Structure 1
């Protein structure tokens, strides 16, 4: 029997049981099974009614029930007196005469008027057990609670079918599904009987193929069972709440009665329409809809009964009560109050700027960028809602117009106002992919910021200025210029620490600035400047794309230094799947490309490099940061791997610290590469020099030996032995590389001794005549061996030959 759990649950010991379940859940079927004698209370006399037409007085209801009992028992009961005042005593005597318990169930109680409900409550005094069933019984349960009546509640989940019951219902409907299709159907419908039947009848092809989805099933169901239930507060709440992607308990309380709000949110969870998530900005848990289901409800359900303007006013009021500035801005934009939305967003631009296409910002996404030319904060937000890639003509015209509006503010006015205008101008130039313009504006912003931090003007900085500074730091980091981003973050952190209450009321701005600084230290190979535990713990609770990417890349360096390439890539992959548009973060794509080299994954390497090239404004050539000239060696190595020049990631000017190596990690990596190449070329003196230079760069923090992943175990062992003769060589910890040495995909290429000699000379950059002289052979012989190398490695160019030889550890 289907619904066995629900039928058994109707035999609860409470004198009053509320049975609450949505359309199509089988409430009436359950009640009919119960009425026919199913369940554990076999001796109970059971009466079932629909709410329509029930008498609104206790006397009328009592006489109706008494007539039903007389009919069911088949013999005469004591007739009830004509005087209504004598009914209670007569009923009590009659029930003693029956000597069996009596239970009454009413279906559709949300349509009961006050008189009928009071009449039902009156029956409890006669010892009759009541079951009140409907779509929304919470208001009645609250009334019973206020009367002090003890009751229990049977909820939606008790009507949901198990997987075995789903199979039974499918067979009962004459359908034949595979085990996989049955499981998919059960998951898509969560076991809701009405949805299951709808899928079998209206979506037979998808259901049989195991392709039915929750949103498709719900849409088909609502076409036949629209949410137009009169008198249901829950249905009204559902249709109204679906207008926003998330809401707090306080916001829900504005949309319905205060006491009903937590009940209704709990019910949305029970129906699997969404989930509760922690919202760091609000510092509380909020209900977030399953967006696909929310859209179905909005499209299929009748609109709320309120006028649209009144409804939006309620959302504005709810947002103000909850301090939910995201919802407030969305509601203001929805009603066309753009100036109010702009003023609010400018105060918290970094805090509130959407990561990407968050459904809460859908009202802004419907606006053309051209409507926001004189509103830089809203325009910045609107541009974030678009996917990465070539900017649209409308957005290009908008940023061009906005730049003209900002030009006067950039050149004149109060210092912090000029800084804000420069920051927005950089955002717009970056969107327009105007590389030289970005560089020029950044130079001006960086110079002005140095003056502001060191001058009396620093005292004038408030929360708005800090939010704009962090927007600049995030924008610069997104563009791939991690070092300048960290320097902006360091200056912002200094200002925030001087007045944390006024400049960082939620404590999130300083945390982000320090994450940028911590990433910079690890990327450069320097010691952590402060304890990382609090900044890097719980990345699953982070919600901004910027926080996710910076945290993942910071954690990645530890895994990379440990030689755990899979774990390092997993950190970046976790961030990539959570952010809206990974390609909007070129630096993320570049780091994944580097790790693909060490993981020996040429397919991923090509894909990530291509994504980096699409997103970056960098161009092949020397780094803008001259002190990073050694990094060019690393980029050149990456270029050889893909067979073309890869752009250098840093194109904005940076200001290195004085008195210590600026980027010891990269220089350390370069020296290890030089040592490995010297070992393969048999140049022992150059090998010792390279190891000595690597030792000099080794700080207290152990740097990774990942560049030796292309070396064989024998080569690493040789490097260790030579390092022991180098002063301080043991500090390199080369034994750590033995864990992943030889971790290459060797295709079984067998090179002759002469071919190996030619390969070593090719790595050293020798020409054919130079190799011929060194090997005492003719140029044609050298060409013969080079041709054999290319044939064995299946390549057609020198660069590709060296790339594949490195990949296979030859």
Structure 2
């Protein structure tokens, strides 16, 4: 008699008492899984949390003939007392041939199990291997007894299944027992095995079916079998997903309750970081769970720009865990969310903490947290917070301004009016509220108003609130210095971001320096993310130094924090720094690349004109006409650009500079012709120019004049006009004035003004306004430099030698590509699109594309207008 073939649960026939999974495992699959069990290792744990056919594997293992006696026992989970378990084990051993074993201890003690196994090993003529189902669900004393015996009892081995084997492994390590772990990945079906099952169940299946099933199940055997059995047509069509795969999984039928309680706890959070796991469960357990979740097929692990790994649930898997109700898995969802929120605060994850608190209706607590972390939260993941805010009445947010800001920023269409009328009403109420109280309270309310206004595209309100905040911040330093804390530093960073976004870079240095002075003396006042906040302040200072030409050495000497890229503002700052420095060393291609990459990563690049300005300068310097056309079509003529950069209350000065340069380089009209811009600037009310720096109007007027190729007579700026400004601004104003004087025939005056403008330069600075000058004008200014001109001015002017330049005769002319000229000739000759396509050996769609470009570039709406404009342009 083959004892192994009889030793199945309850000593009944294997075909009657075996788990149903045994009938599913095909012989090749069973053979592979059994081959994983290393006979030389005394203790083997087979772990799997989503039904990986552990029972089938153990039953097949017990039924296989072997030199050792294999006894499989499954204890009744309703009777886990020492006596009940001893009686069950004694019966199994007696059936196996070990005979009746006399005990020296009472059956009511756990030592009875050890005596039974010791006696069986002595009575048998071959080694004994015990298979135990779900060892992790048995009392800890049982697991400890069985594991210890494998190390002390010669001829005894243990093979056990478990949903959660970490505690068992810990016990084996503590006892010094060699062990093997078969995990979810080891037991998962391979593509070949899935194909073998499909060959029997769905012969018409293809390789695409195999890929779809593996993608949905990660090869977990029970899920594979369920999909093939319940959704055969979806499998064949390749439309199956996780919803079908996990829809029938009931976790409490598959193992340890504690493991599934932990799963249900962390399922409250849509995403989980290792640090959050550590805060919830401790280091060892956290590492184990974080590694197991993706192996279960519960979700995926990614590493965002913040640098910390994140586990994200598959929505169907998470919803299944949250909706599961069972007497053994009772949990309080509100208490679970509060626990996750507490852990999230501890590890510096404010997004998750606020999401959990809002879900718990704890708005007052969420408001306090949001106030301290608003700087980090403005770039929050909308998918994490939006569903929580949507579930609340927007009217409740009127009393929680920081939560209102956050709810506004996570809405679709950020920077545009809210689509929800009730939310829009609350936003208007808050924006129109009075600003009063002590200085710290006024600063906080102004910061909230400016941030909220930017969130809904109210640029006029944002400008007024930001400028008022800066003036109060600088004038009342002694009244807020004692109130500095995380909330205050957060507001300060938000205001620096607003200044950059609203073109007021000239105000960034004093604000950043005051904040840095306080935060560096006492980093605890900056908040838990003090290092990251200091890094943002340093980056803002350095970006302002690049734009204004102030000393960069001081900034470099104190910048000890590594660069950050996981916030939108970080992307803009570092791209502006890198592009500005590339321009200053004459590397225009790198400047173009830095700005291109950053624009690609930004959700709304047109909201950051300082970045687009540097890109435009680089493209004009390189003579990249096609890319300038793309800039016009994809950005400068969009509704978003019109709303943000041509707002009737606050037009952007850098946006106007961008459009002036583009029109001069391409001959295209963007919003209004160059000739109309001077009158437009003069007609703006004083309040509309609060978005401009003090020198903004002079810069715009001088750029318009140089771009149009005209001159207005000799200019002799006074020392007062050039003196109080930053070095780079003086340099650029001096260059604009120099070109104007040169065109007026005053070469000596032009060179004199140029040298005076560059007198304050601290390092080589690209002569950016000269990208709009002609090559002849650039050469003349360089040649006329006197021998005593400073080395910095000489090297700075030398950078203009590689500018593409703008031809005097070509100003205002439209530049057409060779193919566009061929299409224009065909239109002149009256050819149809089809005839022209045959003549040029291209498709009709290609002809239509070029014809559309012609109408756009020449501002024509009909064939007659197109030909008339082409004639006037000499094309």
Judge same fold: TM > 0.5, yes or no. yes
Query: How many angstroms apart in 2 are the aligned matches of 1:386 and 1:469?
Result: 24
Paired residue for 1:472? Answer: 495
Q: What is the root-mean-square deviation of aligned Cα atoms in Å? A: 5.4
The structure-2 alpha-carbon separation of the partners of 1:373 and 1:294, relative to structure 1 and needing over 3 Å to count, comes to: farther
Q: How does 1:537-686 map to 2 (within 5 A)?
A: 542-558=565-581, 571=594, 575=598, 598=624, 600-601=626-627, 602-603=629-630, 605-610=632-637, 613-614=640-641, 616-619=643-646, 633-634=660-661, 636-637=663-664, 640-641=667-668, 643-645=670-672, 652-655=691-694, 658-663=724-729
Paired residue for 2:538? Answer: 514
Quote how far apart the aligned CAs of 1:155 are: 1.9
Partner of 1:153: helix, strand, or coil? strand
The structure-2 alpha-carbon separation of the partners of 1:322 and 1:795, relative to structure 1 and needing over 3 Å to count, comes to: closer
Q: How does 1:773-788 map to 2 (within 5 A)?
A: none
Tell whether 2:811 aligns with 1:763. Answer: yes
1:502 to 516, 525, 529: 525
Quote how far apart the aligned CAs of 1:481 are: 4.8
The 8 Å contact of residues 374 and 402 in structure 1, kept in 2 or not, is answered as no
Paired residue for 1:745? Answer: none
Query: How many angstroms apart in 1 are the aligned matches of 2:591 and 2:189?
Result: 43
Paired residue for 2:424? Answer: 396
Quote how far apart the aligned CAs of 1:451 are: 0.5
The structure-2 alpha-carbon separation of the partners of 1:617 and 1:629, relative to structure 1 and needing over 3 Å to count, comes to: closer
Query: How many angstroms apart in 1 are the aligned matches of 2:615 and 2:597?
Result: 12
The 8 Å contact of residues 631 and 666 in structure 1, kept in 2 or not, is answered as no
Tell whether 2:160 aligns with 1:137. Answer: no
1:359 to 367, 379, 384: 384
The 8 Å contact of residues 303 and 309 in structure 2, kept in 1 or not, is answered as yes
The structure-2 alpha-carbon separation of the partners of 1:621 and 1:390, relative to structure 1 and needing over 3 Å to count, comes to: closer
Query: How many angstroms apart in 2 are the aligned matches of 1:379 and 1:241?
Result: 27
Quote how far apart the aligned CAs of 1:499 are: 4.5
1:109 to 131, 135, 156: 135
The 8 Å contact of residues 545 and 579 in structure 1, kept in 2 or not, is answered as yes
Query: How many angstroms apart in 1 are the aligned matches of 2:212 and 2:618?
Result: 37
Quote how far apart the aligned CAs of 1:440 are: 3.0
Query: How many angstroms apart in 1 are the aligned matches of 2:828 and 2:751?
Result: 32
Paired residue for 1:128? Answer: 156
Query: How many angstroms apart in 2 are the aligned matches of 1:535 and 1:165?
Result: 57
Query: How many angstroms apart in 2 are the aligned matches of 1:291 and 1:638?
Result: 51
Partner of 2:476: helix, strand, or coil? helix
Quote how far apart the aligned CAs of 1:662 are: 4.5
Quote how far apart the aligned CAs of 1:220 are: 1.3
Quote how far apart the aligned CAs of 1:470 are: 1.4
Query: How many angstroms apart in 1 are the aligned matches of 2:102 and 2:161?
Result: 31
The structure-2 alpha-carbon separation of the partners of 1:660 and 1:477, relative to structure 1 and needing over 3 Å to count, comes to: closer
TM-score normalized by the length of structure 2: 0.68
Greater shift, 221-230 or 60-69, is seen at 60-69
Quote how far apart the aligned CAs of 1:398 are: 0.8
**Number of equivalenced pairs:** 738
Instruction: Provide structure 1 residue ranges, at least 5 long, that are not aligned to the other structure.
Output: 71-77, 743-755, 767-783
Query: How many angstroms apart in 1 are the aligned matches of 2:613 and 2:727?
Result: 23
Quote how far apart the aligned CAs of 1:763 are: 1.7
Q: How does 1:82-481 map to 2 (within 5 A)?
A: 95=121, 100-113=126-139, 117=143, 120-121=146-147, 124=150, 125-126=152-153, 127-142=155-170, 149-171=177-199, 173-174=201-202, 182-183=210-211, 185-200=213-228, 217-229=241-253, 231-247=256-272, 252=277, 260-271=285-296, 273-275=299-301, 287-290=310-313, 292=315, 295-297=318-320, 301-302=324-325, 305-319=330-344, 325-357=350-382, 359=384, 362-387=387-412, 388=414, 389-392=416-419, 393-404=421-432, 406-407=433-434, 410=435, 412-453=436-477, 455=478, 457-479=480-502, 481=504
The structure-2 alpha-carbon separation of the partners of 1:425 and 1:535, relative to structure 1 and needing over 3 Å to count, comes to: same
The structure-2 alpha-carbon separation of the partners of 1:707 and 1:285, relative to structure 1 and needing over 3 Å to count, comes to: same
The structure-2 alpha-carbon separation of the partners of 1:95 and 1:516, relative to structure 1 and needing over 3 Å to count, comes to: same
Q: How does 1:790-809 map to 2 (within 5 A)?
A: 794-795=854-855
Tell me the alpha carbon deviations over residues 320-374 of structure 1, each in whole angstroms, 9 at most, x when there is no partner.
Answer: 6656555444443333232232233323432444534151575345334321112
Partner of 2:160: helix, strand, or coil? strand
Query: How many angstroms apart in 1 are the aligned matches of 2:422 and 2:730?
Result: 45
Quote how far apart the aligned CAs of 1:156 are: 1.7
Partner of 1:373: helix, strand, or coil? helix
2:53 to 17, 23, 26: 26
Quote how far apart the aligned CAs of 1:741 are: 6.7
The 8 Å contact of residues 25 and 194 in structure 1, kept in 2 or not, is answered as yes
Tell whether 2:79 aligns with 1:79. Answer: no
Quote how far apart the aligned CAs of 1:413 are: 2.4
The structure-2 alpha-carbon separation of the partners of 1:18 and 1:200, relative to structure 1 and needing over 3 Å to count, comes to: same
Tell me the alpha carbon deviations over residues 271-318 of structure 1, each in whole angstroms, 9 at most, x when there is no partner.
Answer: 4634376997xxx95754246466545566458622333333433554
Partner of 2:159: helix, strand, or coil? strand
Tell me the alpha carbon deviations over residues 207-264 of structure 1, each in whole angstroms, 9 at most, x when there is no partner.
Answer: 5566x6xxx6322122111334464211111121010134566754675688644432
Quote how far apart the aligned CAs of 1:760 are: 5.8
Quote how far apart the aligned CAs of 1:587 are: 5.7
Quote how far apart the aligned CAs of 1:565 are: 7.0
Partner of 2:388: helix, strand, or coil? helix
Instruction: Provide structure 2 residue ranges, at least 5 long, that are not aligned to the other structure.
Output: 1-27, 106-111, 682-687, 696-722, 815-824, 830-849, 861-865
The 8 Å contact of residues 222 and 300 in structure 1, kept in 2 or not, is answered as no
TM-score normalized by the length of structure 1: 0.73
The 8 Å contact of residues 466 and 498 in structure 2, kept in 1 or not, is answered as no
Tell me the alpha carbon deviations over residues 543-596 of structure 1, each in whole angstroms, 9 at most, x when there is no partner.
Answer: 333223323333344456677777656645655666666676566677667777
Query: How many angstroms apart in 1 are the aligned matches of 2:313 and 2:592?
Result: 29
Paired residue for 2:840? Answer: none
Query: How many angstroms apart in 2 are the aligned matches of 1:286 and 1:796?
Result: 48
Query: How many angstroms apart in 2 are the aligned matches of 1:136 and 1:311?
Result: 21
Quote how far apart the aligned CAs of 1:151 are: 3.5
Query: How many angstroms apart in 1 are the aligned matches of 2:234 and 2:769?
Result: 51
